[in-house]
Amino acid sequence: MNPRYVYLDHNATTPLHPEVKQAMQEAMDCFGNPSSLHGFGRAARQMVERAREQVAAFIGALPDEIVFVGSGSEGNNTVLSILGCPVRHCSCEHQGGRAIVTTAIEHPCVQETARCLADRGNQVSFARVDHLGRVDLEHLESLVTEHTGVVSVMMANNELGTIQDVRRAADIAHKHGTLFHTDAVQAVGKIPVNVKDLDVDFLTLSGHKIYGPKGIGALYIRRGVPFCPLIRGGHQEKGRRAGTENTIGIHALGKAVAMRAVEMAEEAVRLRALKAALRQGIEDRIRDVHFNGDPDNSLPGTLNVSFPGAEGESILLYLDLEGIAVSTGSACASGSLEPSHVLMAIGIPIEHAHASIRMSMGRDTTADDIDYVLERLPKVITKIRDMSTAYARK
């Protein structure tokens, strides 16, 4: 049994905030259906609407612009599926173009939804990114046509941490009379996000990335933009998402964003300092390392690094034996034979992609944790490189 655990995979998911956990426990007995008129229902309704206000306030939206969904993936699927719906003649409010413009580094839930729509005859295009993972906005603009229904650009990338200029991307979409969506699952709760400042029409966020529970997310839908539900058959969420509300999850999401509002700014400063120490420590202790992503404009706690000659899944599993949890962009870990599409899109050599790991810190990460990683990681890399065909001992 390992004496020590260091969790550096906060971009994958986060532990519950203790106050969120407590709020959930307290809400367990509030079992009413928010749609019921009686007291049990009204209590549940009150809980849901209070959370809606909290989420709205946190991102600068109005409460009725927030729709609770089952996950970030559901939110993203919803926006692309309804705006890219190939059916032209129905009661849907959306009568604009149906083509989709997105980017090469989106989460699979956006990319695969877009590809599915392409298979159904839609025009779908992917904007390039530069070597730091920043979307090439000129290329993006060149892809937008009169047929475009939505432009979707993620706010912060899960693998690299690179933050996009979402406001400029939204301006480009609006200049061409099309709607704009941002997948802000990795951004909300880590950096300031305000839907009015960003001027976005749709925004997706998720609970479990910000110390809330899994299975709850929210979709911001700007008042007045056309919408059509993906999940039908109920009047819940003002007819925008059918299904009895996940009342405890919603309550927890409200609490989670409320805690983020209190902790986020200070934590970002702390995490940036820890990341700088981690990066410097790796550079000092391990030779031939390559950092991936934008060093100047990335999520406070995300560091992506390649150790040429050391295969990523091996690094992950040797670190796991030391009690350190990270993730990798290597093909081997994913079960497919392709390395991360994000690392390929930024144009790093494929052998760097196979040799990459992502460390993502969070509110519980300490300076001691970083010291421990800096003590163990060099040994792991040396061990792997020592038996590697791809690394000559110098």
Q: Which residues of the shown chain bind another protein in the complex (CB under 8 A)?
A: 1-2, 5, 309, 311, 313-314, 317-318, 320-321, 323, 330-333, 335, 337, 339, 350-351, 354, 386-391
CB-wise, 97 or 339, nearer to another protein? Answer: 339
- Residue with smaller CB distance to another protein, 260 or 385: 385
Q: Taking Cα atoms as reference points, which of 242, 182, 212, 235 lies closest to residue 61?
A: 182
Nearer Cβ to another protein, position 213 or 329? 329
Question: What stretch of H or E contains 358?
Answer: strand 356-360
Are the C-beta atoms of residues 21 and 249 closer than 8 Å to each other? no
Q: Would you say the C-alpha torsion 362, 206, 9, 302 has a positive or negative sign?
A: negative
288 vs 213, 321, 342, 352, CA distance in Å?
A: 39, 24, 21, 11
Cα–Cα distances in angstroms (integers) from residue 72 to residues 28, 98, 146, 206, 339, in the given order: 23, 22, 28, 5, 23
Find the largest Cα–Cα distance for the chain.
Answer: 75
Nearer to another protein, 43 or 325 (CB): 325
Q: Is 30 a catalytic residue?
A: no
Minimum Å gap between C-beta 350 and another protein is: 5
Q: 30: Cβ–Cβ under 8 A, 6 or more apart, which residues?
A: 43, 44, 47, 247, 248, 251
Residue 212 C-beta: closest distance to another protein, Å: 21
Q: Considering beta carbons, is residue 164 or 356 the nearer one to another protein? A: 356
Instruction: Output 276 or 321, the one with its CB closest to another protein.
Output: 321
Task: Kindly state the tokens that stand for 394.
Answer: 């110098």
Residue among 30, 92, 116, 332 flagged as catalytic: 332
Least distance to another protein, CB of residue 339, Å: 7
The identity of residue 386, as a single letter, is: D
- Integer-rounded Cα radius of gyration of the chain: 22
Distance CA 106, CA 124 (A): 13
Taking the complex as a whole, the smallest distance from the CB of residue 338 to another protein amounts, in Å, to: 9
Q: Which two tokens stand for residue 310?
A: 């050391």
- What is the C-alpha to C-alpha distance for residues 44 and 370, in angstroms, rounded to an integer? 43
Q: 180, 170 in Cβ contact below 8 A?
A: yes
Choice between 4 and 175, CB closer to another protein: 4
Report in angstroms how near the CB of residue 142 gets to another protein at its nearest. Answer: 31
- Polymer length in residues for the chain: 394
If DSSP codes are grouped into helix, strand and coil, which group holds residue 325? strand
CA-closest candidate to residue 325, choices 17, 13, 108: 13
Residue whose CB is less far from another protein, 300 or 339 = 339
Contact call for residues 238 and 64 (beta carbons, < 8 A): yes
In the complex, least distance from residue 39 CB atom to another protein, rounded to whole angstroms: 42
Closest distance of CB 349 from another protein, Å: 9
**CB 329 to another protein: min, Å:** 11
Give the C-alpha separation, 138 to 151, whole Å: 13
Can you read off the two tokens belonging to residue 298? Answer: 């990335």
* Residue partners of 355: CB distance under 8 A and separation at least 6: 306, 307, 308, 309, 310, 311, 312, 315, 330
What's the token pair of residue 392?
Answer: 């000559």
Residues designated as active site? 332
